[in-house]
Chains A and B, each alone.
Chain A
Amino acid sequence: MPISLKGGKERTMKLELHRVKISKLAWGDATSAKDGVLTVNKEELLSVLAGDERLTKVDVDFAQPGESVRILPVKDVVEPRFKLEGAGGVFPGMLSDVETVGEGKTLVLSGAAVVTTGKIVRFQEGIIDMSGPGAEYTPYSATCNVVVILENAKGIDKHEYETACRMAGLKAAAYLAEKCAGAKVDAVETYESLSLKDMPAPPTLPKVAYLYMLQSQGLLHDTYLYGVDVKKILPTYLNPTEVMDGAIVSGNCVSACDKNNTYVHQNNPVIANMFKRHGVDFNFIGCIVTNENVTLLDKRRSSSYAVKLARTLGVDGLLISEEGFGNPDADLIMNCWKAERAGIKTTLLTDEYAGQDGASQSLADSCVEGDACVTAGNANEVIVLPPMDKVIGEPEEANVIAGGWQGSLAADGTITVELQAILGSTSELGYTKLGAYTI
């Protein structure tokens, strides 16, 4: 059944996600998807990734659910998608031209993911365990992962290496999905959103928008919107379906637990659930994307501008999600109190750094108006990850990764770390296995 923000047909933006379900990976002569198996022609995939002089070595491996496999240091995760119909292509401004996306038909290899690994900023990458206790904390233990292993050319700058890794992940994801364009589709999801002229419908429900905060602290800590570095933007309006086509791409080398990698943007559960509740609990007005810059001037400018946009859209409520922690807490709080004082109710979505004992201050900032907050958990909780039969990447990176420490890696391969080191463990978009449920 379509998930729809129904309105005037001619103004409606409609996106169909054509899902091909993947539950297994296999090497083969032709890259294709059939009966839940994604077959990959390794040579062809490597040829797609070849030719980047910033990389001396590119290799590909598999990591599948339930296997005794550990991947580290993980840089990004990307879901394979390909535009079947409609304007533009996936990852606009990065891989495709800059045409606005979010309409037409997009093929999704559901259950598959491209994982990039490489030592860029060593203490700011993550761990994925495909089985054992660590697997319970990362959503990427449940995906069939095509792991792209990348080594940089000697002497290149870290930001060039990051760009090369980012592009390799996007290329691999687009290649895999494109090759499966003729595959049998298991499910079609339809998302429709309408122009503001036709909103709200129905008029009796409150109007709620999503204030989508994106990490933009500096090179290697950036996010891209249609290829534009988000720290250079003023907050702007985004149609939710644009995000599903890869309009937002992660360029982050930051703490693994709560960085919003590209996969989680593509599958943003806040957007998916706001679509579901549209017309039932509220009218979902759309997304306002904003940044998290370093200077206080930028923080004041962006928070004021984002709230101005919300007021212009006439919203009654804002759901605000953060990315990262520390000084972005100041952005979160400014967004909160400025909206509340403008008469807009807010709910905040964040995670916590409350110390290993959970007794420390969870957020760096607060305000009295922030009285509705959802947490994705305490990133400082300690976990012991038993040895795995196979490690893709560099196991000794556990000693320098954020959330680990010198001695985190034991001689037998056991790793003791805080959840901070596990990719997506406290995702501030809620794309995590941790949760509290009413029973």
Chain B
Amino acid sequence: MVCRRLLVTNNPQLCPVVRSCVFVEGTTLDVLLRVRDHVHLGWRLLTHPLYGNLRPHQHLYRSILLERQEGSVDLESLDYMESALRIYTAESRRIMSADGIPEEHREDFAFVDYELIKESLLQYGMVTADGALPSGGRR
């Protein structure tokens, strides 16, 4: 089956409940690079690549929603991705890794990432069903 919409994420809580998901083993910067590659392959952004309130070194997970489009590369999406990558790479030495972060804090980060993408997932029919959403963002 060819999927029309795709979630790219490194948040382990999300893939099990999303219809179409690419799980990235890595950091938030790795997620952005994978999304940038997808944009070059003809996908366009449905959600903005930056968080609303946290700098690149202040979060562990990132989730971005894409849609396959017809025709050439979507330049607006590419522009947003290159701009986001400039911000992340400028702080690449401080990008967070899950290693050494207590489970409780990792859960907080995963929860917030989930909360911030949840509305968009519902809007684009990407979650299997309301009942399948993890309670409070946790499974």
Contacts and interface: CB of A to CB of B under 8 A. Distances in A.
Interface of A: 121-124, 157-159, 215, 217-221, 231, 254-255, 259, 292-297, 299, 324-330, 353, 355, 360-361, 364-365, 380, 400, 402
A402 B53 contact: yes
B54 A294 contact: no
Interface stretch (B12-20, B22-30, B31-39, B83-91): B83-91
Given A157-B136, A294-B117, A361-B86, A328 B52 contact: yes
Contacts of A364: 50, 83-84, 87
Nearest to A155: B136
Q: Lowest 8 CB-CB distances: which A-B pairs, in order?
A: A327-B48, A157-B136, A217-B52, A326-B50, A254-B53, A218-B116, A327-B50, A255-B53
B72 interface: no
Nearest to B76: A296
A296 B52 contact: no
A255 B55 CA distance: 10
B111 to A, nearest CB: 6
Interface in B39-84: 45-55, 58, 65, 76, 80, 83-84
Contacts of B90: 355, 360-361
Q: Classify the interface of chain B: helix, strand, loop or mixed.
A: helix
Given A218-B117, A218-B118, A326-B53, A295 B105 contact: no
B80 A330 contact: yes
A409 to B, nearest CB: 15
Contacts of B76: 296
A66 B106 CA distance: 37
A327 B48 CA distance: 6
A158 B111 contact: yes
A259 B52 CA distance: 11
Given A324-B52, A400-B105, A295 B46 contact: yes
A391 B49 CA distance: 38
Given A221-B116, A361-B86, A324 B80 contact: no
A296 B47 contact: yes
Given A326-B50, A326-B51, A295 B115 contact: no
A325 B53 contact: yes
Residue from A158, A231, A294 whose CB has the most chain B CB atoms within 10 Å:
A294
Contact of A158 (B49, B65, B83, B136): B136
Contact of A292 (B52, B54, B111, B123): B52
Contacts of B119: 218-219, 231, 293-294
B53 A122 contact: no
A216 to B, nearest CB: 9
Contact of B120 (A221, A255, A295): A295
A294 B105 contact: no
Given A122-B105, A296-B47, A221 B52 contact: yes
Interface in B93-138: 105, 108-109, 111-112, 115-120, 123, 135-137
Contacts of A329: 50
Contacts of B46: 295-297
A13 to B, nearest CB: 33
A169 to B, nearest CB: 20
Contact of B115 (A218, A297, A325, A326): A218
A259 B53 CA distance: 9
Residue from A218, A255, A324 whose CB has the most chain B CB atoms within 10 Å:
A218
A131 to B, nearest CB: 28
B125 to A, nearest CB: 13
A328 B50 CA distance: 9
A231 B109 CA distance: 22
Given A218-B116, A220-B115, A294 B52 contact: yes
Contacts of B120: 294-295
A365 to B, nearest CB: 7
